[in-house]
Amino acid sequence: MQKHDTKNYHIYGIGAALVDTEIEVDDAFLEENGVQKGMMTLVDTSRRNELITALENHLVYSSRACGGSGGNSAIAASYFGSRVFYSGRVADDDNGQFYIEDMKRAGVTTCQQHNNQGITGKCLVLVTPDAERSMNTFLGISETFSVQELDKEAIKASEYLYIEGYLVTSDCCRAAAVEAHRIATASGVKTSLSLSDPGMVQFFREGLEEMIGDGVDLLFCNKNEALKWAQTDDLDAAIESLKKITKTFAVTLGKRGALVFDGSELIKIDPYPVDKVVDTNGAGDMFAGAFLHGLTAGHGFKKAGELASMASAYIVSSYGPRLAPEKYEEILKTVIK
């Protein structure tokens, strides 16, 4: 383990280390190939190969990029100016080497572990004309991310721990999230977590409850996830339910903006208008990364929400889960005056 200065990092993130590829499809393709629209579905090697064969003549929207939900948030926060440390697990293969170098290019300090026997995780992101993304994730070696890969000193040296909710699908990943939460809480580091996907709330609720433990300081979710968590159709009831597991939260509402709770006041965040939504992949990840940057930079919940709202609008206006580097500075100058 490295020796870290006190609060050397604004954010310490953990999540599945995946290399993403985005591909254009239509709804008929999803139906013909049994892909659940708008959801993250775990696939094995056989299923992934089956999809790749079916996709042979389709347009690849964006070149491969290191990602995974937590990774996308880490990169966003780093480009906005936060000091970020990120832990995941990749194999000693071409995608693994690419992942680490891509993270470093984004300014993120990484702690990925290599294993010659494994395969780096990959995600086929299928984008339909309505801009919805359907993710087919082969976790590969990222499924074995464990307590051993945590950099405890880096966690202690951070202002916020950020946990990707997708870690709930693996026993050892979930255990790592629980331990990271314990270390952070014991060290006075604020904890944050994303519910990640409606499917995670629906099928892995007990695991998420284990990861949340006695509660977190900040929780991210979208409206659908909030409603599923509270098992209600009423957003107001869902908000009250969230207050039982987190001190503060941000609920994204798509084209209606977001609601953020600072511990005492519920704040409406207006949406940032866009001419056309072309790809929603990474919108929630961008929101979380921008929001965490806003908080750790001292801008408060309202400004952090406005920054996250604008950044998310930019991301859905183009393909891929990240922006050109100069766009982050442009957003900052517009919101943080």
Residue 92 lies in a domain: yes
Residue 37 lies in a domain: yes
Question: Can you give the residue range of the structural domain that contains 183?
Answer: 9-332
Residue 292 lies in a domain: yes
Residue 1 lies in a domain: no
Complete DSSP assignment for 89-129: B--SSHHHHHHHHHHHHTT-EE--B--TTS--EEEEEEE-T
Answer yes or no: are the C-beta atoms of 162 and 201 closer than 8 Å. Answer: no
Separation between Cα atoms, residue 64 and residue 327, nearest integer Å: 20
Residue 4 scores a pLDDT above 50:
no
Residue 2 lies in a domain: no
pLDDT tens sequence across 293-324: 999 999 999 999 999 999 999 999 888 778 98
| Residue 274: per-residue pLDDT | 87
Q: Facing residues of 260 across strands?
A: 250, 267
Three-state DSSP class for residue 35: coil
Residue 33 lies in a domain: yes
Whole-prediction pTM value?
A: 0.92
Domain CATH for 248: 3.40.1190.20
pLDDT tens sequence across 15-26: 999 998 888 899
* Domain count for the chain: 1
Residue 337 lies in a domain: no
Residue 4 lies in a domain: no
Answer yes or no: are the C-beta atoms of 325 and 316 closer than 8 Å. Answer: no
Separation between Cα atoms, residue 147 and residue 21, nearest integer Å: 28
